[in-house]
Amino acid sequence: MTKRVSAISVPDRALRVAAETGLDRGDPYSVWAPEFSCLNELEFIEGSHQGPTPNQLKVGAWNLERGSAWPAAAEIIRAHQLDVVLLTEMDCGMSRSAQQHTTRELCQALGWSGVFAVEFVELGLGNPWELNRPLDDFNRAGLHGNAIISKYPILNPRLLRFSDSDGSWWHRTFHEARLGGRIAISGEISTASGPISCVVTHLENNTSPQVRERAISALLSWHTASEQACVLGGDFNTSTIDPTTTSDPYRLRNSLIEANPNRFRQPEAYEPLFECLADADFHWGTA
């Protein structure tokens, strides 16, 4: 059961160390996941907006890669006059991002509302190319997730955890010890024409297009309860390949680009999730 909170629960450092030890010992993921209540929480950040209900919304989607550059992001959001931003890869209490809750910092800089949920509890300091820049040798919270931020109030927030991905990072194969899995968050924004549902998701990169399709199918099943207008965005990781099938995914990717330079610009033929979205009447050609 998802719990709405004003501040996400910070897992005790000793618990995180114990979980990392359990990972290396070979403990099942199911032993440790229930110990982290933050995985089933939605943190609500109150904004300061006062004014009329909008006639329309300008929505952006952005993988902010930990969110540590939130001051520059705030300037870009203002410059583009966005009303809602669907954010992926936001840190909370990570050394690599100066222990900041980057979603909260960004919301406070803008005076916006926000909803944040944990995708992964990070048991280490980050991936290999980040290890040369931590400020501390520990994480205050070790949380990493997605968010919806909005100039206007966010109503009825909900969290979906994809069952296909839970525990898929419970190893060191990808050089990051993590507990958790991919998620989607939804929230409603009131407009003069009625509520609009905004959904952010981050799909798995270390898997196949078929698993990403199953995630989108699960998301659509989860979100079909109403006839509201809906905008869906985030990081879909539509690489068109399954990197687990090769020891050198970058070489495979580059060879595919050589064979078809438009492959990653037009991934629809290789990623069946696009057909799922089209069948559900989603459109992306004008986005």
Question: Would you write out the chain's pLDDT as a tens digit for each of its 287 residues?
Answer: 799 999 999 999 999 999 999 999 999 999 999 999 999 999 999 999 888 999 999 999 999 999 999 999 999 999 999 999 999 999 999 999 999 999 999 999 999 999 999 999 999 988 877 776 668 889 999 999 999 999 999 999 999 999 866 778 888 877 789 999 999 999 999 999 999 999 999 999 989 999 999 999 999 999 875 678 999 999 999 999 998 888 888 898 889 889 998 998 899 999 999 999 999 999 998 88
Q: Please give the pLDDT value at position 164.
A: 66
Closest CA to 268 of 201, 219, 213: 213
pLDDT value for 130:
76
| pLDDT score of 60 | 97
pLDDT score recorded for residue 127: 80
pLDDT of residue 225: 58
State residue 248's pLDDT score.
86
Residue 120 confidence (pLDDT)? 96
Q: What is the pLDDT of residue 243?
A: 87
Among 57, 66, 73, 38, smallest CA distance to 183 is for 38
